Structure 1
Amino acid sequence: MISKRINVSDRIYQIVKQDILDDVLDFGDTIIEQEFADRLNISRTPIREAFKRLEVEGILTRLPNGRIKIIEIDDALVREIYHIRISLENVILENILENENNCTSEFINKLQKIVDVNEREIQNQEWEDARKSITTFSKEMLASSNYTVSSKILDQYNFFLSKLKIKSLASTERIKQAYNDHKEMLELIKSRDILQLQKVNKRHLMTACQTIIHQMSESKK
């Protein structure tokens, strides 16, 4: 049974999201409150609370017949989320470069280390580690911002693409391309070239978007 020291509703909220990431549940699946109650040996009240929270975030949707379904991901939603992501990330990047407290030498050195490690991983064909470094660079770059609201909104949208983003780096050529984008972005951060950095970031994210849509199309064949 879930420990009472942990907020049960919060725990269920995390379990549903993790189940989606771990392929226990998939986008488009119908989920049933009683099944979660039986699985976790708890009442349905905290499950309803968690599901309502997930509905507000757009992860779950309630059908006219009362059933609850995980949102389906299609091409239009991927494009919409990436356009939102581009806008939010570019606002965050502008905040980082315009604020000396954010764009510190420590911040730049941390990004440089990630890029250097990523280069060695690619040279050694350590593709799984290289994928992780690509993701780490993006997280570290955006984490320096003090725009907490934008960052929280971005995290929420990024959840929808968490599984698909991993697949977008399945190709070794895509990993190399992402590495080169990050290397270019780092140099633009060093030179404080906000406009060019935003252009490169937009190009980088649109390529990822197109890759995901292509893979979704291929998986349907």
Structure 2
Amino acid sequence: MTEQTSLWQDETQSADFAELCSALYEREIAQLANADIQSPQVIQGRLKSLPYYIKRTAHLMLQTQTPLDLDVQNASWSAKQAAHMPLSGQEIAEVNKWYLAQTLTHGLVVPVATTTHIVLDSIDRIDQQNHRFRTNVHGWFYLNDTEQKDKKVNANYRLLKPNKRVMTAACTGHCWVNDHKTNPVIPSLRELLLSCAINWRNFKQPVIF
């Protein structure tokens, strides 16, 4: 009986893995087909790297410890959406205070609010002397009020401190327009990978994989 149960579990996991890969491929190919890319070399490079990243993402989505529900058919996370974007306690001073109190590490997943939804990014450079850090996509974030006033702040996005509500909204693509719920956006393949690096028990430390 133990062997039969094990085989059944392996078969189920294999089916889920195949379905996740299929959904991810379909989505990524559609995005490439509609992308405004003039260079064939760029498209070729992306196509060559797709198998690795899609298989890695599918594997991690099946293995990661998360409070979210996995939608295998759509290769996405799901959870109940809040009525409003979860920005309570996310004033700039509070956000800066939270990050300044941490020993920041490379690879830490951080949430960034856009005008309609929250996205995931990760720290790739830390400048402790100047109280700032850089993320892969959104660049430098300054944690000092004086520096923030001196720098041009992009009004289209801002750093948030991670908590369960914020990270849930980011992972699931929950979206709000004019403070009203609307259809979710689909997180990018990169964001799905980052979602698997979230340590839900301790947002101060990334999961290493």
Which TM-score tier does this pair reach, normalised by the shorter chain? Answer: under 0.3
TM-score, normalized by length of structure 2?
0.26
TM-score, normalized by length of structure 1?
0.25
- Which structure shows the higher strand fraction? 2
Structure label with greater radius of gyration? 1
